[in-house]
Amino acid sequence: MLAFLLTLMLLLSVVIVLAYAERKVAAFMQDRLGPTEAGPYGSLQAVLDVLKLLQKEDIVPAQADKSLFKLAPILIFAAVFAGFAVIPFTPDVVPAGIGIGVFYLLAIVSLDVVGLLMAGWGSNNKYAMLGAMRSVAQIVSYEIPAGLAILSAVMICQSLDFQEISYQQGVLLHAFPGMEYETNWLFGIQALGIDTTTIGGITTWNIFRAPMLLVAFIIYFIASLAESNRAPFDIPEAESELVAGFHVEYSGFRFAVLFLAEYSMMVLVSLVAVVLFLGSWNTPLPNIGAAQLANWTTGSVGALSGNLWAAFWLLSKTFVLLFVQLWARWTYPRLRVDQLMHLCWKVLTPLALAVVLAAGIWRLLMI
Amino acid sequence: MIFYIFAILAVLSGVYMVLTRNLLYAGFSLLVTLLSLAGIYVLLFADFIAATQLMVYVGGVLVLILFGIMLSSRVHDKSVVSENTNKVWGTVITFLVLVGMFHTILNANLGALPWLQTADTAVLGQQKSTVQAIGIKLMTDFVVPFEVASLLLLIALMGAAYIATDKQKV
């Protein structure tokens, strides 16, 4: 229960910051100022937006399928929020450290799709219906390259437990029960004979441990943009043709929940990318000789310092990825449907399959 | 206790699914049934099966069903409604299946099964999940069925692609 509330609070604050950042980043990229009035540099704008939404009337269209219409936002948010249960925030804090975390996450997030269909159908609106259809088609297609990219990381780590994967990517490797005698080698190849277990930092991150995971990371990142309906994959919400996509009929609190779910999805996919590929809560600074940068910026497990450093690194890496998501939105134009499917099935999926094969071979070199 | 909650949910939504005339509602109550079944699997220490249930049935099959319903309806601006056909035969066969199942369950004497008597309540033991055991079994004892199943799915996929191709007479 405590984990539930804490995660919810953390998520809400991250989403508020993200909503503000979205407007500011967009403004600066277009040589505007963005919100400036509310609070210093307009920093209260996002909070006030949410307050305004909460005060608005909750309109349910007369022709809508009322029960489905009301249920859909809750289902969508619940599905996304349930994904956060398995994300390790620090070496000690993980809401639910289950052994098949990665698989559970993939499974539970697919519930989101059912909610989208429910919202699109329940609204009884052509635009909402088309938006939901496009959104679901896109999410279902891009789950394949995303799943394959995750699979290659899982093959390298030999674990479906997010916390175990996190421990493997840093100097705390031996602190995880059952991995006391594991060793990290440079690029993961034992034959090179360079032991990086105590060096830590970026040298033990998954993208460095097994370089083909860098490709997997890029595939996952592109696919995750599509899964969270972000530009350049935002044809489900294409303003110029569909008004707003599946949430066109929603207002007030229900719209706020859908909005929150969408931003939570962005945060979730970024967190997953960080945990699986970018060293999770581990520091990027390696130990170099006497300068024990990794140890200094890791703290000790169980103590406050360890938790604070870990949360700091995890969140800052996540924010970097979120920034890249915003950046991509204002850099690339929207893809057409055929380009979308071409990218997914003819580019990303074969590439992801090749990466899975390479990861399997690499794993043999790592033993 | 939790088991009964999931069980009641599964049964109620299953009954609703069968009784409702609106196909879309039937689809969504199937969602509740599948989710409750996943919950029951978790209670049985079958975490992998539970997640697979969500992944395959909710993320795959159910979405496909809903997609099918949505694409094929709203043409005449009304929801798809199922119809009753074959009432007599349906009733007879269902009744026979029910009797057969009751007969089997009542005579099975499940409590006396030898493996159940000797089973340990700590099913997982040192393992954190059943994934390792399933993986090892799939690659040793059950590798042939596993490969045959994958071959079958591949054939089905190719068949589907062939049927869906736009065959143009040149």
Long-range contacts at B82-91 (CB < 8 A, ≥ 24 apart) = B82/B21, B82/B23, B82/B26
- CA–CA separation, B63 and A143 (whole Å): 13
pLDDT of residue A332: 85
Q: How many CB atoms lie within 10 A of CB A97?
A: 15
The list of chain A residues with pLDDT below 70 reads: 367
pLDDT of residue A353: 92
- CA–CA separation, A214 and A252 (whole Å): 41
Peptide bond into A232 cis (omega under 30): yes
Task: Tell me whether residues B31 and A161 touch, CB distance under 8 A.
Answer: no
A265 and A80 in contact (C-beta within 8 Å)?
A: yes
Give me the residue from B24, B47, B59 closest to A113, CB to CB.
B59
pLDDT of residue B156: 94
Average pLDDT, chain B: 82
pLDDT of residue A311: 85
Q: Model's pTM, two decimal places?
A: 0.86
A200 vs B153, more confident: B153
Sign of the Cα torsion A359, A361, A362, A363 reads: positive
| Tens-place pLDDT, residues A135-177 | 888 888 888 899 899 999 888 888 888 888 888 887 777 777 7
* Complex-level ipTM: 0.75
Task: Tell me whether residues B129 and A98 touch, CB distance under 8 A.
Answer: yes
A305 and A102 in contact (C-beta within 8 Å)?
A: no
Q: Which residues of B touch A179 (CB under 8 A)?
A: none
> Which of B9, B73, B29 lies closest to A120 in space, CA to CA?
B73
> Which of A367, A365, A344, A358 lies closest to A151 in space, CA to CA?
A358
In this prediction, residue B19 has a pLDDT band, given cuts at 50, 70 and 90, of confident
Give me the residue from A103, A111, A118 closest to B58, CB to CB.
A111
Burial grade of A365 (CB within 10 A; 0-12, 13-18, 19 or more): middle
| Tens-place pLDDT, residues B3-17 | 888 888 888 888 888
Q: Between vectors from CA A128 to CA A125 and to CA A132, what angle results, nearest 5°?
A: 140
Q: Name the strand (E) or helix (H) holding A336.
A: none
Q: How many CB atoms lie within 10 A of CB A329?
A: 19
Q: Which residues of A touch B129 (CB under 8 A)?
A: 98-100, 160
Sign of the Cα torsion A87, B60, A230, A46 reads: negative
State which CATH number among 3.90.1200.10, 3.20.20.70, 1.20.120.1200, 3.90.550.10 fits the domain covering B1-107: 1.20.120.1200
Nearest CA in chain B to A71: B28
Share of chain B above pLDDT 90, in %: 14
Give me the residue from B52, B63, B128 closest to A99, CB to CB.
B128
Task: Tell me whether residues A107 and B51 touch, CB distance under 8 A.
Answer: yes
Substitution target in B23, B30, B129, B157 with the highest count of A β-carbons within 10 Å is: B129
B43 and B6 in contact (C-beta within 8 Å)?
A: yes
Locate A307 and state its tokens: 């938790």
Q: What is the longest distance spanned by two Cα atoms in chain A?
A: 71
Residue B154 has pLDDT above 90, yes or no: yes
Write out A184-251 in H/E/C secondary structure.
CEHHHCHHHCCECCCCCHHHHCHHHHCCHHHHHHHHHHHHHHHHCCCCCCCHHHCHHHHCCHHHCCCC
Per-residue DSSP letter, B22: B
pLDDT of residue B73: 63
> Which of A125, A22, A7 lies closest to A77 in space, CA to CA?
A7
Task: Tell me whether residues B59 and A107 touch, CB distance under 8 A.
Answer: yes
pLDDT of residue B96: 94
Domain ranges of chain B: 1-107, 125-164
Please tell me whether residue A288 adopts helix, strand or coil conformation. strand
pLDDT of residue A21: 87
* Whole-number Cα distances in Å, A6 to A10, A84, A259, A287, B120: 6, 11, 20, 33, 37
3-state helix, strand, coil in chain B (%, to 5): 75, 0, 25
A104 min Cα distance to partner chain B (Å): 5
- CA–CA separation, B46 and B53 (whole Å): 11
| Tens-place pLDDT, residues B87-136 | 888 889 999 999 999 998 888 877 777 777 776 666 666 666 778 888 88
Give me the residue from A100, A111, A114 closest to B129, CB to CB.
A100
Task: Tell me whether residues B54 and A99 touch, CB distance under 8 A.
Answer: no
The one-letter amino acid code at A99 reads G
